Amino acid sequence: MLSRHEDPIAAIATAPGRGAVGIVRVSARQDLGPLMAAVCGRVLQPRHATYLPLRDADGQPIDHGLALYFPAPHSYTGEHVLELQAHGGPVVLQLLLARCLAVGEGIGLRLAEPGEFTQRAFLNDKLDLAQAEAVSDLIDASTEAAARSASRSLSGAFSHEIDTLRDRIVHLRMLVEATLDFPEEEIDFLEKADARGQLERLISAVDEVLDRAKQGALLREGIRVVLAGQPNVGKSSLLNALAGAELAIVTPIPGTTRDKVQQTIQIEGVPLHVIDTAGLREATDEVERIGISRSWSEIEQADAVIFLHDLTRLGQPDYDAGDAEIAQRLLGADPRQQARVLHVYNKADAAAPAPAPLAADALQLSAATGAGLGGLRQALLQRAGWHASPEGVFIARTRHVQALRRTREHLLLAQAQGQSADAALDLLAEELRLAHNALGEITGAFSADDLLGEIFSRFCIGK
């Protein structure tokens, strides 16, 4: 990874687009005195907002604004930071930015890459990697619950849990390494410290954090729910009912929806990306055929599939044959496929009650009246695996969940080594080392360069 002392020394600057107030932000390891003198006309008092004219090369004010100077290391990035807060028009900000870049040419001032301010904060130990990711997750949060849990992760709640686990692994590693170094005292060291008990409790603690991280990842990423079924069963009506808006076209004509319609809704703060698709049938029309093949590819990528049926048509031979054909392709013999699929019967308002015995976990509802939608929302949350209350969740990513899973696997292997009669201590030590490494990837103690590049390049410009 990039060493903390070899990061590029170029100074960086950025300005966002339109807003009430816009900030040109400069971060550099080099002295910003000359830049301040040129643009602000004076040396600023550290960490105090000063109202002054921001001047161009001819000494003419570009704007009057607030200037803030944060001398290193007490800044967001840990470098010297100068902020010029001006009126938020794009032209004003571009002029101000161009002026800074011209004055800063001597110190190599250039435009910042996406995420580069936060990357520098990470490289200068202001934030760990999980906190840096939380900055981006906070900005991109699609629900209030996601924003609150991102803020919790940014404050270090998640990192603290990881650091606590890491300390416990380090302690165990120390015991085992000490035993390896002094083999004659083997039994004493590990027995006396109850190393086996410690390892067992550590695995439970990892399980607990893993569960919370899964909830956090769910809150960040949401799940993809596809509405599938024969034409005219009410898929588009159900999307509209869930979203509370007329998003998709609804008509009595079978084959109305040709292309997918996607909308993100939230249920208890969990984002659900709901996708309405073209009704599934033997299509004769070329356009419809393409639509239907898209439906199937959406179904393949879904986390959950709502297989929608029409209560008013149950028992009609053509209709039943159509459903049977879809069921065969959708469910097959694979139990994992079946776990994804939720059977939902629509048009309960227009049908005689339960015309045929339905599967035990099937839901009945009416997209037209909204009856039964609450039950569907709960069933979707359950399918998603959501069982937390948003207050206790910190934001997390799939990357974190995977690292925790690998940590857990190595700890289990270490435990297996420790339990065998002729415990191979060197193998146990190795598994603990691997568990330590896997956990370290979360906060960035052991992270490859390409991973860091990937994480920061996904930030918006200016963070």
Ligand X SMILES: Nc1nc2c(c(=O)[nH]1)N(C=O)[C@@H](CNc1ccc(C(=O)N[C@@H](CCC(=O)O)C(=O)O)cc1)CN2
Round to whole Å and give the CA distance between 254 and 230.
Answer: 9
Q: Residue holding tokens 């200068």? A: 124
253 marked ligand binding residue: yes
Name 381's Cβ contacts closer than 8 Å, sequence gap at least 6.
267, 268, 270
Mark the segment that binds Mg ion (CB under 5 A) among 66-74, 123-131, 162-170, 252-260. 252-260
252 binds ligand GTP (CB under 6 A): yes
164 marked ligand binding residue: no
Q: How far is the CB of 291 from ligand GTP (least distance, A)?
A: 9
Residue 89 vs 255, nearer CB to ligand GTP = 255
Q: Residue holding tokens 């040396």? A: 43
Q: Which of 236, 295, 346, 366 binds Mg ion (CB under 5 A)?
A: 236
Mark the segment that binds ligand X (CB under 6 A) among 71-79, 151-159, 328-336, 348-356. 71-79
The torsion region of residue 112 among left (phi > 0), alpha (psi -120 to 50) and beta comes to beta
Mark the segment that binds ligand GTP (CB under 6 A) among 97-105, 166-174, 225-233, 395-403. 225-233
354 binds ligand GTP (CB under 6 A): no
Round to whole Å and give the CA distance between 398 and 351.
Answer: 43
25 marked ligand binding residue: yes
Under DSSP, is residue 133 helix (H, G, I), strand (E, B) or coil? Answer: helix
Please state the φ and ψ torsions of residue 453, each to the nearest 5 degrees: -60, -45
CA 235 → CA 347, 360, 370, distances in Å? Answer: 11, 22, 13
Q: For residue 253, which of 266, 236, 265 has the smallest C-alpha distance?
A: 236
Q: Which of 80, 120, 126, 212 binds ligand X (CB under 6 A)?
A: 126
Q: How far is the CB of 327 from ligand X (least distance, A)?
A: 51
Choose the contact partner of 428 out of ligand X, Mg ion, ligand GTP, none; CB within 5 to 8 A by kind: none
Question: Residue with the closest Cβ to ligand GTP?
Answer: 279
75 binds ligand X (CB under 6 A): yes
236 binds ligand GTP (CB under 6 A): yes
Residue 234 vs 269, nearer CB to ligand GTP = 234
Are 368 and 332 within 8 A, CB to CB?
no
Choose the contact partner of 368 out of ligand GTP, ligand X, Mg ion, none; CB within 5 to 8 A by kind: ligand GTP
Residues β-bridged to residue 65 = 52
153 binds ligand GTP (CB under 6 A): no
**Peptide bond before residue 73 is cis, with ω within 30 degrees of 0:** yes
Q: Which of 366, 417, 443, 447 binds ligand GTP (CB under 6 A)?
A: 366
Q: For residue 309, which of 282, 279, 339, 288 has the smallest C-alpha distance?
A: 279
Are 70 and 80 within 8 A, CB to CB?
yes
Q: How far is the CB of 384 from ligand GTP (least distance, A)?
A: 23
Q: For residue 278, which of 246, 311, 308, 255 has the smallest C-alpha distance?
A: 255
Under DSSP, is residue 361 helix (H, G, I), strand (E, B) or coil? Answer: coil
Choose the contact partner of 269 out of ligand X, ligand GTP, Mg ion, none; CB within 5 to 8 A by kind: none
The type of residue at 305 is V
Choose the contact partner of 262 out of ligand GTP, Mg ion, ligand X, none; CB within 5 to 8 A by kind: none
Judged by CB under 5 A, the chain residues 107 through 146 that form the site for Mg ion are none
DSSP for 172-191, written as a single string: HHHHHHHHHHSGGGHHHHHH
Binding letters toward ligand X, positions 17-56, x by CB under 6 A: ------x---------------------------------
295 binds ligand GTP (CB under 6 A): no
Name 351's Cβ contacts closer than 8 Å, sequence gap at least 6.
311, 312, 314
Are 118 and 458 within 8 A, CB to CB?
no
Residues β-bridged to residue 110 = 12
Please state the φ and ψ torsions of residue 357, each to the nearest 5 degrees: -65, 125
Q: How far is the CB of 64 from ligand X (least distance, A)?
A: 17
Are 233 and 207 within 8 A, CB to CB?
no
Binding letters toward ligand GTP, positions 195-214, x by CB under 6 A: --------------------
Q: Which of 14, 159, 257, 443 binds Mg ion (CB under 5 A)?
A: 257
Q: Which of 70, 189, 345, 394 binds ligand X (CB under 6 A)?
A: 70
Where does 116-269 have alpha helices with state H? 116-123, 129-140, 144-154, 157-181, 186-192, 195-221, 235-243
CA 326 to chain CA centroid, nearest Å: 33
126 marked ligand binding residue: yes
Q: How far is the CB of 248 from Mg ion (least distance, A)?
A: 6
For ligand GTP, the binding residues (CB under 6 A) are 231-237, 250-252, 254-257, 278-279, 346-347, 349-350, 366-368
For ligand X, the binding residues (CB under 6 A) are 23, 70, 73-76, 83, 126
Cite the annotated binding site for Mg(2+) by residue number.
236, 257
Cite the annotated binding site by residue number.
25, 83, 126, 232-237, 251-257, 276-279, 346-349, 463
For Mg ion, the binding residues (CB under 5 A) are 235-236, 256-257
Cite the annotated binding site for GTP by residue number.
232-237, 251-257, 276-279, 346-349
